[in-house]
Amino acid sequence: MILKVKNISQIGGVVKAPPSKSYSHRAVILASLAKGTSRLYDMLYSEDTLASIRVCEALGAEIRKKQDYLEVTGTAGCLHNSSDSAIDLANSGTTLRLMTSVSALADNVVTLTGDESLKTRPMGMLMDALLPLGVETESLNDNDKAPILIRPGYQGGETNIMGNVSSQFISSIIISSPLSDKGVTLYVLPEFKSKPYVNMTLDIMRKFGVKVLKGYYLKHESCDKLNQSCRIDEFKVRKQAYIGCDYTVEGDYSSASYLLALIAINGGKARILNLFRDSKQGDKFILDILQQMGATVVRGEDYVEIASEGRLNAIDVDLSNAPDLLITVAVLAAMAEGTTNITGVAHARVKETDRIDTTCRELEKLGCKLVEREDGMSITGGVNGGTVDSHGDHRLAMAFSLIGLRHDIRITNGDVFDVSFPNFIEAMDELGFELELEDE
């Protein structure tokens, strides 16, 4: 399907941010591991989170969608795989990474697979880190990627993992650790990127009754070549149980970035509800970015107000702790005055696509001047209309639609926003930006 702009009316108004995809994944997984029954309010039902629901059901959780909440009767950590074949996770990299560790808690073999895109996601680092904990895994195509077979047995103990590839590897081990035989001590080796995502994991684990001890120390010999000390982060998780609870999923700053950027680029004023000031989400950083680029942002307790005259300035920005903002910020940069330098996102090359490469290639199709770097890009404002391809990446489809505020834009494979923001078109329409899908 092709995504394109149908109409632009008075931009602005009030709209509710969609529920957080990251918290929705974690909520259904922890509720499925817990003792008792949980009620999950304001859950996001997207293609990705439905993959997490499916695999949790396959491993023994009883999940029922009610009118106002998702009811989950947990397994108390006693998992059993009822699937006769590999469990299909579609395109959900989050589900694959989080559930690889969790699946080792089952009393029988679990195989996780997905679509062709998911089968390109590197998993070797997580598989290697699980081995010292007694977890045996196997890449069935012998390439450290899905499909992955996970054998039963999770002894626990000590292990380490690099922190500069995917925070989801770290969250995966931490989430499963309390239900291992003897608990886990995890050392995260430098450089630790995307820390806020791990903080989100620790935050929701506390809500389900599990405590994690967090610390760090400095080690000199690990960084001899740099002649400086390196920080080693340490997570200690003793054996304990998750307890079912009532939990409300907060709004998603990643998805809200498109609503906020809409106002910043076009001009106008809007209030986005369900965005909490004390949120642990790293993508809350979008508010600082928009302020630096010239928008006015007011942070309420549970909402954000943004106002803009539609004139944006270039900035220098390090997105190491908010890589999911990369494409949104790249589009903002293409619509701003001057040259924006984006750094710190080398780990964005192992997302749904190589997001640095695909973003640069699609912006070039629209006449944008840029320089691609290993960990980011420099973008000089100025872009034309045209046709681009989403490459099956939901964030590219949504971010590039904003170029339609000033130029005709057509996005092939543009219906992939269902992965994280199923009512994207409706939410944008509430703010006066009317999009439509048509057959290719």
Q: Which helix (H) or strand (E) holds 359?
A: helix 355-365
Sign of the Cα pseudo-torsion (317, 323, 327, 332, in order): negative
Helical packing angle, 21-33 and 253-266, nearest 10°: 170
Instruction: Report yes or no: 143 and 117 within 8 Å, Cβ to Cβ.
Output: no
Query: Exactly one of 42, 48, 252, 324 is catalytic; which is it?
Result: 324
Cα 185 to Cα 178, 182, 212, 225, distances in angstroms:
11, 10, 10, 27
Give the span between the Cα atoms of 240 and 141, in whole angstroms.
35
257 CB burial (10 A radius; 0-12, 13-18, 19+): buried
CA angle 103, 325, 263 (to 5 degrees): 135
Which residues, 6+ apart, have CB-to-CB distance to 270 below 8 Å?
11, 12, 13, 14, 15, 259, 260, 262, 263, 305, 306, 431
Give the span between the Cα atoms of 332 and 323, in whole angstroms.
15
224 has catalytic annotation: no
Show which residues are catalytic.
324
